[in-house]
């Protein structure tokens, strides 16, 4: 019989960030594409949900008060508008080849200007230009309209640094709950959920 991955004595000491680091390192080693891809679920003030894939660009227990998981976006997009109105969200990592997933729930906070500038400057130049050219989530007549704006921006900044748009930045999800799931045959899965309180993290196993 396989060992229990989520048994109490099999979990790295400390908070769930340690276990996340262990699983994420394994995913980065074995997942062929975008091991940092995660589903981000947000909701409007009325409770209408929406979900899309984004990329994890930073994480850790020391990433600000309460730790967190960071992604970047156009803040005028649908997700940006929903976050501004209702800064609660959920993340889901699903590593199919490893048969593991992690669910994370919490509040969203904007990252600092310095942090957003540092990440934007590290992006590929065409990605920087695309962020300037795109009105993310807004309707457009056809793709040629966007490509034309992209070429216009490319010409404008030829030989120059591309500035980060004011409406482009990052968010840090500060977790209140993190659940680890490991696939087992016949749906006899392992699940452990960590919840945060004023005194720290507590965890419990869940029925599959």
Q: Which active-site residues does the annotation give?
A: 187
53 a known binding residue? yes
Residue 99 phi/psi, 5° resolution? 60, 45
- Sign of the CA dihedral with 149 first, then 154, 155, and 160 last: positive
SS (H, E, C) 165-186: CCCEEEEEEEEEEEEEEECCHH
52 a known binding residue? yes
136 a known binding residue? yes
d(CA 13, CA 174): 20
Question: Angle 125-133/143-156 helices, nearest 10 degrees?
Answer: 120
157 a known binding residue? no
79 a known binding residue? yes
188 a known binding residue? yes
123 a known binding residue? yes
Which residues, including other chains, have CB under 8 Å from residue 16's CB and lie 6 or more apart?
Answer: 175, 178, 180, 194, 201, 203
100 a known binding residue? no
55 a known binding residue? yes
54 a known binding residue? yes
203 a known binding residue? no
CB 70 within 8 A of CB 172: yes
DSSP characters over 91-122: EEEEEGGGTEEEEEEEEEEEPPHHHHHHHHHH
Annotated binding site: 52-57, 72-73, 78-79, 101, 119, 123, 127, 136-137, 181, 187-189, 191
Annotated binding site for FMN: 52-57, 72-73, 78-79, 101, 136-137, 181, 191
Annotated binding site for substrate: 57, 119, 123, 127, 187-189
């Amino acid at each position: 019989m396989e060992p229990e991955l989520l048994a109490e004595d099999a979990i790295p000491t400390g908070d769930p960030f340690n276990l996340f680091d262990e699983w994420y390192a394994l995913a980065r080693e074995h997942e062929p594409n975008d091991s940092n891809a995660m589903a981000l679920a947000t909701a409007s003030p009325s409770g209408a949900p929406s979900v899309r894939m984004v990329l994890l660009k930073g994480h850790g227990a020391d990433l600000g008060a309460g730790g967190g998981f960071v992604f970047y976006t156009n803040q005028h997009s649908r997700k940006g508008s929903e976050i501004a109105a209702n800064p609660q969200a959920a993340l889901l990592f699903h590593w199919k080849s490893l048969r593991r997933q992690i669910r994370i729930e919490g509040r969203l906070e904007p990252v600092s200007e310095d942090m957003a500038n540092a990440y934007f400057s590290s992006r590929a130049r065409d990605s920087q230009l695309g962020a300037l050219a795109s009105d993310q989530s807004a309707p457009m007549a056809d793709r040629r309209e966007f490509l034309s704006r992209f070429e216009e921006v490319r010409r404008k900044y030829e030989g120059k640094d591309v500035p980060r748009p004011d409406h482009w930045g990052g968010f840090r999800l500060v977790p209140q709950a993190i659940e680890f799931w490991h696939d087992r045959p016949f749906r006899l899965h392992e699940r452990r959920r960590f919840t945060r309180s004023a005194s720290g993290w507590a965890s419990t196993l869940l029925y599959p």
